Amino acid sequence: MRARLPIALAALGSFAIALVAVVGAARADFPVTIENCGRTITFAKPPARAVSHDMNISEIMFALGLQDRMVGVTGITGWYKMTPEFRRALGSLPELAAKEPTLENLLAANPDFFFAGWYYGMHPGGPVTPDSLAAFGIPVYVLTESCAHIRADSRTDSRSAPRAADIEVLYRDIHNIGRIFGRSTRADALIGDYRRRVDAVRQRLAGAAPVRVFLFDNGEDKPFTAGKYGMPTAIIAAAAGRNVLDDVAASWGHVGWESVIARDPEFVVLTATGDDSWRDRWRFLKTHPALASIRAMREDRFLALEYTELTPGPGNIAAIEKLARALHPERFR
């Protein structure tokens, strides 16, 4: 053992030098200034006590290995059932609020960063907003997809008009969070891997005729679905489909059944929340007399995707791969 001690010390010294180099490089990248949802935010150093809201947003944090920079999550068990993978990634981090956090929930954890979105833990005019948290010195990063909610209300300023959903908004959020926490190398590696997987799908589907797709989240009197600005529209497009409601100027919202029937979708995507409740919603669609003429019902073509696969997050990439196979099985034989 004694003979090995110098080698061990040498190895430890090399590790310490490498660690100092990494820390030094991270410090050299600061201050970091981010443009986010019409606001400019500057970080003098990486946050050390972050809180994230919702499963998809938390999965972005986990994909970057930021659990050691977090003090909790909000908005998980009040809405969904955790997957084993999410539970493992969460580790010992506490859930500070089962649904949407109050100002008191957040302040009690003494955070120095909050990652959420409009209608992902925050509501315009509500108690928890970037402005209300700024009063306590807590910066907020807003999920880019959700910015459409407030930009759609800014109709007097054409510069703030929202853009149609695009998978690039996911890459932008991962890149920005990586910069904020000094993890740009890991963020860029993730984005590179995601781009390769999406490009591989696109190459297989080159020239394929787009399939008309209807996303059904819930609702009997009026379906709740995704519109022009919602991530499902981008996922469907990447899988060589077309959201039949991609002209609806909303990210998520209610439409009339007559709009769905008139567009005769060939395929239905159902939102799953970690259990089999999506089967009840498919049964509802199949037995709805007014929907019997829709091609997707006649041909029994559907796919259930998890909430975390349909909202902005790392799960979007697997969703594109699954949906592409379901829409165009002949291209994957």
The whole-model pTM stands at 0.89
Q: What DSSP string runs through 167-229?
A: THHHHHHHHHHHHHTT-HHHHHHHHHHHHHHHHHHHHHTTTPPPEEEEEE-B-SSS-EEE-TT
Question: What confidence score (pLDDT) does residue 156 get?
Answer: 40
SS3 118: strand
d(CA 154, CA 38): 11
| pLDDT tens digits along 199-211 | 999 999 999 999 9
CB 215 within 8 A of CB 232: yes
Question: What confidence score (pLDDT) does residue 12 get?
Answer: 39
Question: What confidence score (pLDDT) does residue 165 get?
Answer: 87
Percent helix, strand, coil in the chain, to 5, is: 45, 20, 35
Question: What confidence score (pLDDT) does residue 152 get?
Answer: 55
**Residue 68: is its pLDDT beyond 70?**
yes
Mean pLDDT of the chain: 90
Question: What confidence score (pLDDT) does residue 149 get?
Answer: 82
**Residue 80: is its pLDDT beyond 60?**
yes
Question: What confidence score (pLDDT) does residue 256 get?
Answer: 96
Structure tokens at 142: 């807003």
SS3 52: strand
**Residue 158: is its pLDDT beyond 70?**
no
Question: What confidence score (pLDDT) does residue 151 get?
Answer: 66
Span 214-227, average pLDDT: 96
Q: Which residues of 270-290 are buried (b: 16+ CB within 10 A; e: fewer)?
A: bbbbeeeebeebbeebeeeee
Question: What confidence score (pLDDT) does residue 29 get?
Answer: 86
Question: What confidence score (pLDDT) does residue 24 get?
Answer: 47
| pLDDT tens digits along 100-132 | 999 999 999 999 999 999 999 999 999 999 999
| pLDDT tens digits along 160-185 | 567 788 999 999 999 999 999 999 99
| pLDDT tens digits along 6-46 | 333 334 344 444 444 444 445 668 999 999 999 999 999 99
User: CA 171, 73, 69: angle at the middle one, nearest 5?
Assistant: 70
